[in-house]
Structure 1
Amino acid sequence: MRRILVLGGTAWLGHEIARAALADGAEVVCLARGESGTVPAGVRLVAADRTAPGAYDALTGEWDDVVELSHDLGLVVPALEALAGRARHWTLVSTVSVYATNDEPGADESAAVVDPVDLTDYGQAKVAAERATAEHVGDRLLVARPGLIVGPGDPSDRFGYWPARLAHGGPVLAPTAAGRFVQVIDVADLAAWVVRAGAAGTTGTINAIGDTHTFDDFVVQAQAVTGSTSDIVEADDAWLLDRDVRWWAGPRSLPLWIPVEDSGFSQRSNRAYTASGGDVRPLQETIRRVLDDERHRGLDRERRSGLTLRDEAALLAEHPSRMGR
């Protein structure tokens, strides 16, 4: 039986990887503090603070694959020192945020990455983690660089904002769609691929991302899933920014909205991912999974990303196309 160690495993992606590994027939162990949630039933949790001395002492024997999720060198390096010599394969989950620019549609894994000089920056910290891991693991390493991970349980609310908002009804404020794209990876597809790639001994660096869709297509597909007939009210960048609407994520944002000049971020090549056995389920299936989860959690709940209905209504009242209505 394969032995898989997930460094983490109680938060969203780690939990999904542990579940997928267990379903694949592996013995699965998660090392985590256990404060972010529970491990899947059937998975063994080794509760430990990875910053404490002896954090890895309970992890005995050889491992067929170790999956590292952290970007913090203070966690990544001690784990490598303790475990790299006993791992047949090592998977570091990195990010496409390591790339230096986002202006080239179709860019692949050979694109230049940022210089890791500020490790408080997520992308730079991941570059440092990639390099430290390569030094310890060598040719046993798979660096998985996901794009935007979406699916049930997503704590960021970036993707789920849109199907939830469309399901709620009424006019919907959106950025101008021209020149904008959406590229996501379903968390279940990513987790299943991480497990399969580890079993196959896949190595190298791979952008683990889905297919590219225009923003218009994404909205149309979300409308089809939700049954929405909402009027989509587009606003240009300057109008939104002047009213303190924010890019991409977080409070008072329009999620997934990024500058047109950075549209390559959502148009990266996923050829290596699909060639290595990665699945990309239809976008509508992911939207449907997310919508079911949003309804379960509450369409009107407080969110980490997006506009509140009150803020959106105030903005719509100012929109030139709706003045006086």
Structure 2
Amino acid sequence: MRILVLGGTRFLGRAVARLAHDRGYDVTCAARSVSGAPPAGPRFVPVDRDDPDGLAALDGGWFDAVVDVTRRVDHARYALDTLADRVGHWVFVSSVSVYADHSVPGRSVADTPLLPPAPDGVDGPGPDFRFYGECKVSIERAVLDRVGPDRAFVCRAGLIVGPEDTSDRFPYWVRRLADGGEVLAPGRPDEPVQWVDVEDLAAWLLHGATTRLGGTFDGTGPARGMAEVLAGIAAGVGRPDPRLTWVDGGFLRARDVRPWSGDRSLPLWVGGDPADAGFLARDVTDALAAGLTVRPVGASARATLDWMTSTPEAVRPGGLGRAVEAEVLREWHAERDG
């Protein structure tokens, strides 16, 4: 089995390339190698899809499957024009950010409206990921138009977690719960959270490539309540029975505590906005039936902590600082006890 990974130098792409090599496949990673290095084992071919001849080094070869994670519309179209006739199956990693409406929990691929394609002249996301979802919509259309639905597996990935995740979303909670003490937990204990471990997603992408799975699916696990998720992370990092103090979302917003990611944020929390009620609560029945398997969140937390400990400089600092957390908790207790 010959697998081409367009990328393969960071997070999901690296996980796909590493797993495919470990399974004995003939793996080629094609990338600029600007954002990282490919894993040991796969053949690496330097390419630059900004160059009109950037994929020339791949000329003449046949691949049983391609896995592409790009967010650039021009890069996707260039790869399709160059490689589609020499590829058996095309796997494209899209995103749940393609959806135009996240307000309804329990929606599926079949019944959720999409954003429009990227406007003319927009080939990639701008600052703050503007047009990210629209670019992914454009790429999905290009893939399906060029290779057809029977030869294409479009995976709309959700929140991806696990080792080599350099964001501050899942790593924030791994670090914070491992530290112990009283932990500020946002919103309601039953607010939904959805995620997929990078190794589980990589395995499913390879399953789709090798079985020629066709269709469009959401690539994420079943939704779980925030309390269950935080308890699972805590258990995974050796802190069972965490001291969680649940603080009302309105109270947090009034103190400029932000949702999802970045400074002063509590990641995995979408802020209680009704417009986002379904963002982390999608129906993934069809993905599970198509072979996606998900590990317990504690296993992801344990592996992430091991990686963070070995490479402490790799994770982007973010989330709610400990001093701010302590102050918000003091105010919350004072208001409730006063």
Q: What TM-score do the two structures reach when normalised by structure 1?
A: 0.93
Find the residue that maps to 1:89 and give its secondary structure: strand
2:102 corresponds to which residue?
102
Tell me, yes or no, if structure 1 residue 115 matches structure 2 residue 128: no
Cα RMSD of the aligned pairs, angstroms, is 2.1
Q: Which moved more, 1:314-323 or 1:199-208?
A: 314-323
Identity of aligned residues (%): 41
2:27 corresponds to which residue?
28
Q: Deviations over 1:279-304 (max 9, x none)?
A: 11122222222232233344x99744
Q: Deviations over 1:264-316 (max 9, x none)?
A: 11121222211111111122222222232233344x99744311223322333
Tell me, yes or no, if structure 1 residue 206 matches structure 2 residue 220: no
2:157 corresponds to which residue?
146
Structure 2: which amino acid aligns with 1:250? G
Quote the Cα distance in structure 2 between the aligned partners of 1:81 and 1:248. Answer: 37
Asked if 2 retains the 8 angstrom alpha-carbon contact of 1:157 and 1:304, the reply is yes
Quote the Cα distance in structure 1 between the aligned partners of 2:132 and 2:271. Answer: 20
Quote the Cα distance in structure 1 between the aligned partners of 2:314 and 2:328. Answer: 20
Tell me, yes or no, if structure 1 residue 286 matches structure 2 residue 300: yes
Q: Which runs of 5+ in 1 are unaligned?
A: none
Q: Which moved more, 1:49-58 or 1:260-269?
A: 260-269
Q: Which runs of 5+ in 2 are unaligned?
A: 126-130
Q: Which moved more, 1:230-239 or 1:61-70?
A: 230-239
Asked if 2 retains the 8 angstrom alpha-carbon contact of 1:166 and 1:228, the reply is no
Asked if 1 retains the 8 angstrom alpha-carbon contact of 2:231 and 2:241, the reply is no
1:135 corresponds to which residue?
145
Q: What displacement does 1:237 show?
A: 2.0
Quote the Cα distance in structure 2 between the aligned partners of 1:23 and 1:87. Answer: 22
Q: Among residues 192, 195, 205, which one is paired with 1:184 in the alignment?
A: 195
Structure 2: which amino acid aligns with 1:151? G
Asked if 1 retains the 8 angstrom alpha-carbon contact of 2:47 and 2:57, the reply is no
Quote the Cα distance in structure 2 between the aligned partners of 1:49 and 1:208. Answer: 28
Quote the Cα distance in structure 2 between the aligned partners of 1:301 and 1:156. Answer: 9
Quote the Cα distance in structure 2 between the aligned partners of 1:128 and 1:117. Answer: 6
Cα 1:301–1:115, aligned 2, differ >3 Å: closer, same or farther? closer
Find the residue that maps to 2:57 and give its secondary structure: coil
Q: What displacement does 1:55 show?
A: 0.7
Q: What displacement does 1:235 show?
A: 2.1
Structure 1: which amino acid aligns with 2:93? V
Quote the Cα distance in structure 1 between the aligned partners of 2:118 and 2:320. Answer: 34
Q: What TM-score do the two structures reach when normalised by structure 2?
A: 0.89
Cα 1:286–1:116, aligned 2, differ >3 Å: closer, same or farther? same
Q: Among residues 245, 252, 260, which one is paired with 1:248 in the alignment?
A: 260
Asked if 2 retains the 8 angstrom alpha-carbon contact of 1:169 and 1:228, the reply is no
Q: Deviations over 1:216-260 (max 9, x none)?
A: 111222232332555322222222222222111112211011143
Q: What displacement does 1:173 show?
A: 1.6
1:37 corresponds to which residue?
36
Quote the Cα distance in structure 2 between the aligned partners of 1:22 and 1:190. Answer: 16
Asked if 1 retains the 8 angstrom alpha-carbon contact of 2:102 and 2:279, the reply is yes
Q: Deviations over 1:114-171 (max 9, x none)?
A: 1124553211111111011111111311101111100011111201211210111222
2:128 corresponds to which residue?
none
1:308 corresponds to which residue?
321
Quote the Cα distance in structure 1 between the aligned partners of 2:317 and 2:221. Answer: 24
Cα 1:307–1:323, aligned 2, differ >3 Å: closer, same or farther? same
